[in-house]
Amino acid sequence: MTSPSGRLSIMAPKPNPKVAKAFRAMKDLGISEDMVKPALKNLLKLYDKNWEHIEAENYRALIDAIFEIEDEEVHHQPEQPLKRPRPGNQDQDFSLVEENIATTSATFLHFANTNSDTALNNTDPQQLQDTMEPSKLAVSNSNPSDESESDSPPSCLRPRGRRPTSSKALAIAEASEAHQPCDTNETLYLSQMSLKDQHKELVPSHPSEEDNTLSERLSQGAQDISNGKDTEEEFIGKCDSANGVHRVIPPENETSTSFHNSANGITDGVLLLPEDAALSTHGLYTSIHDNESGPADNSIGTVNRKKVLEMGAEKSVSVIKNKWNQARTSETTYLLDATDITKGEENVRISIINHYNDVFPPSFCYINESLVGRKAQVNVSLAQIGKEDCCSTCARDCLSLKDICICTRSTGGRYAYTTDGILNEEFLEECISMTRNPQKHSQFFCEDCPLQVRKDKDAREPCKGHLVRKIIKECWRKCQCSKHCGNRLVQRGISHKLQVFMTSGGKGWGLRTLVDLPKGTFVCEYVGEILTVSELYLRNQSCLGNCADAVVLDAGWASSKEIKEDKALCLDATVYGNVARFINHRCADANLVAIPVEVETPDHFYHRVAFFTSKKVGALEELTRDYGINFNDCDHFTRPFSCRCGSTFCRNMKHYNRKRTKENALLPFDFKI
């Protein structure tokens, strides 16, 4: 480059602001540049220049790394090569574990990658800045939660897992039919994310349709195509599986001696295996059991003596220590079960599969029925259920009785379900029509719309309308029929095999069926925290760019002139939820339709939201629903996303929106804040 004087000048490399910021932050803590340099260099190498992890929790990893180096210097120990998982390694593919993974009780392994890190030889901070680029990982924040807020979700709900990088891990799950529960020999995938990371979802690059076809074929054949390349070591901690929550308990004493405290190099609660151990699924499984001491009580596994000896005590200790250090960056580390995301909460196991990368689904607390939040008014007292709201003269199965049950009152004296356990066709068609053509159906306009009242006075708009929806009333406990009554479908929960999977169309995770579903089949409910709209609004305000996934329970609003604040309810599945939180949006021709269902309370303000198939859905087809989003309307709670539904009726296409703005103003059921 030439200067104005015409002379050649050498430009100083532009400093990387992240490096400068890290140095500044350490300086503020009184840590000198000399101490920061090697630690930062190591971390950048370890994390493959992913600054997310370095900056997390005010540079906690960096501070740890600095002190680790100090410790090592004090003890005159040579630095051991650190290997940490490289978040978001997009190159790795793993496959298999289709439906049958859900049938095993195998569980979790955490695999660190073996990718060769490019050495960063330069320790000069200025030059470091030139080499350090922000990670290319696409990271999207999708969860709210300011912990300090009383409205915020509790900390038990934070895990946001990375997925094990190895298809071998899943192969183990598939192959190991004889696995035992977590507190014995079960192996676990370990989610080790910092608190901040736990609320971030790693969004993969969009796999192509071609990939999808291939991986789907593979998944059906349960083939492993990774050849174990992506697995180096497996790390397993002690597991406390109380209350269905798998929690890893770090060793109490983190000095190196505690990691190889016995003559044979075996340490309770920690399992460490080099890459080759995972090459054979049986090999890995066997090796867990091969140790001579046997697993300790309440421990997932014990260190395999042979492998530790092979690796050498020093390296083993170093690897374990680094792993624990990493785990320590989370207040608590949780495990997610790839074989059953429901943690046993549903009648069926729901497996998770990602054919494209090593990302695990965003973590949340799985619940199978909605929980009442702090302010919501949901009165389910038996006293509230009058004679007209329960069938006191029915017996067994109301659908098989000659007389129509009183619980059909809200559906015009007709059962919404058939004796085959699917939705009555006529009823279903009406519900589909309401979703697809809301403008053709009765709407209710509230005076003070709860969706508007929280806004600044100037920003408020008149109510945009709520559909006067058809509500199904199921028989319930005060009724005299049995739990198997045909008019109790939704309350019995999920009964068809489903799977959470990484979509190929750039929509992130999705939900699909593993079996053919006839039209009108109940798939699942939308389950979440029952919040008031105001609470949801507050949550939305306190989350930085990450918004909740919520469904408004407005089906009964038409029945009241004035909707009190504690009665304007919604379901937020961001933190507590079920599989429905993975259902993606499809404009107009989605294969699911949402129908309000009353089970425990007839007050109309709280109702469940049940998804039924609006058409025949084939096995492995993605399940979709229309969120009811108006992509043009930035003024409501909806956080717009760029729709990739692929429907010919997509409302996110500009020409389409221009034509249909009026109709789209209606915001049925859902909004996403």
Ligand X SMILES: C[S@@+](CC[C@H](N)C(=O)[O-])C[C@H]1O[C@@H](n2cnc3c(N)ncnc32)[C@H](O)[C@@H]1O
Segment interacting with ligand X (CB under 6 A) among 475-483, 504-512, 520-528, 600-608: 504-512
Measure Cα distances from 171 to 164, 209, 284 in Å.
12, 24, 10
Q: Which CB sits closer to ligand X, 207 or 510?
A: 510
Within 10 angstroms of residue 579's Cβ, the number of other Cβ atoms is: 26
* 108: phi then psi, degrees, rounded to nearest 5: -125, 140
Q: Look up residue 98 and give its DSSP letter.
A: -
* Site map (CB under 6 A) of ligand X, residues 536-555, x = contact: -------------x------
Span interacting with ligand X, options 242-250, 381-389, 458-466, 642-650, rule CB under 6 A: 642-650
Number of residues that bind ligand X (CB under 6 A): 15
Nearer to ligand X, 641 or 649 (CB): 641
Please return the burial class of 369, using the count of CB atoms within 10 Å of its CB with bins 0-12, 13-18 and 19+.
Answer: middle
Shortest CA distance to 356 belongs to which of 542, 203, 502, 572?
502
Q: How far is the CB of 216 from ligand X (least distance, A)?
A: 18
Q: Strand locations in 125-231, DSSP E?
A: 138-141, 190-191, 200-203
Minimum CB distance to ligand X smaller for 287 or for 578: 578
Q: How many Å apart are CA 531 and CA 372, to the nearest integer? A: 7
Note whether 649 binds ligand X by CB under 6 A.
no
Which is closer to ligand X, CB of 59 or CB of 537?
537
Region class of 405: left (phi > 0), else alpha (psi between -120 and 50), else beta = beta
- Please state the closest distance from residue 558 (CB atom) to ligand X, in A: 26
Q: Out of 362, 438, 493, 520, point to the residue binding ligand X (CB under 6 A).
A: 362
**Binding to ligand X (CB under 6 A): which residues in 399-428?**
none
What is the three-class DSSP state of 41?
helix
Cβ-count burial of 568 within 10 angstroms (0-12 exposed, 13-18 middle, 19+ buried)? buried
- DSSP lists the bridge partners of residue 63 as none
* Residue from the set 54, 575, 643, 673 that interacts with ligand X by CB under 6 A: 643
75 Cβ contact partners less than 8 Å away, ≥ 6 residues apart: none
Q: Which of 170, 628, 503 is nearest to 511 (CA)?
A: 503
Amino acid 230 reads D
What is the closest distance, in whole angstroms, from the C-beta atom of residue 627 to ligand X in the complex?
7
Query: For residues 300 and 643, which CB has a smaller minimum distance to ligand X in the complex?
Result: 643
* Cβ proximity to ligand X, 300 vs 523, nearer residue: 523
Q: How far is the CB of 506 from ligand X (least distance, A)?
A: 6
CB of 392 to ligand X, least distance (A): 40
Nearest distance from C-beta of residue 641 to ligand X, angstroms: 4
**The two three-digit tokens of residue 361, written as one number:** 């689904």
Residue placing its CB nearer to ligand X in the complex, 200 or 307:
200
**Least distance to ligand X from the beta carbon of 541, Å?**
18
Radius of gyration of the chain from its Cα atoms, rounded to whole angstroms:
27
Q: Which of residues 622-641 bind ligand X (CB under 6 A)?
A: 641
Per CB under 6 A, contacts with ligand X among 506-525 are 507-510
- Residue ranges in 112-171 that form contacts with ligand X under rule CB under 6 A: none
Q: How far is the CB of 551 from ligand X (least distance, A)?
A: 9
State the nearest-atom distance from the C-beta of 357 to ligand X, in Å: 13
Residue 201 beta carbon to ligand X: minimum distance, rounded to whole angstroms: 6
340-359 residues in contact with ligand X (CB under 6 A) are: none
Among 175, 195, 645, 667, binds ligand X (CB under 6 A): 645
* 333 Cβ contact list (under 8 Å, min separation 6): 159, 190, 191, 192, 237, 247, 248, 250, 327
Cβ proximity to ligand X, 323 vs 581, nearer residue: 581
Q: Supply the minimum distance, in Å, between the C-beta of residue 343 and ligand X.
A: 17
Q: Which of residues 558-597 bind ligand X (CB under 6 A)?
A: 581-582, 584-585
Q: Where are the alpha helices (DSSP H) in 118-177?
A: 125-131, 167-175
CA dist 388 → 60, 393, 400, 407, 410 (Å): 61, 11, 20, 8, 11
Nearest approach in angstroms of CB 672 to ligand X is 6
- In the region spanning residues 212 to 251, those forming contacts with ligand X, defined by CB under 6 A, are none
Residues 249-288: x/- map of binding to ligand X (CB under 6 A)? ----------------------------------------
Closest CA to 557 of 607, 515, 520, 519: 607
Residue nearest to ligand X (CB): 508
d(Cα 333, Cα 342) in Å, to the nearest integer? 18
644 binds ligand X (CB under 6 A): yes
What are phi and psi for residue 95, nearest 5 degrees? -130, -160
Residues binding ligand X (CB under 6 A): 362, 507-510, 549, 581-582, 584-585, 641, 643-645, 672
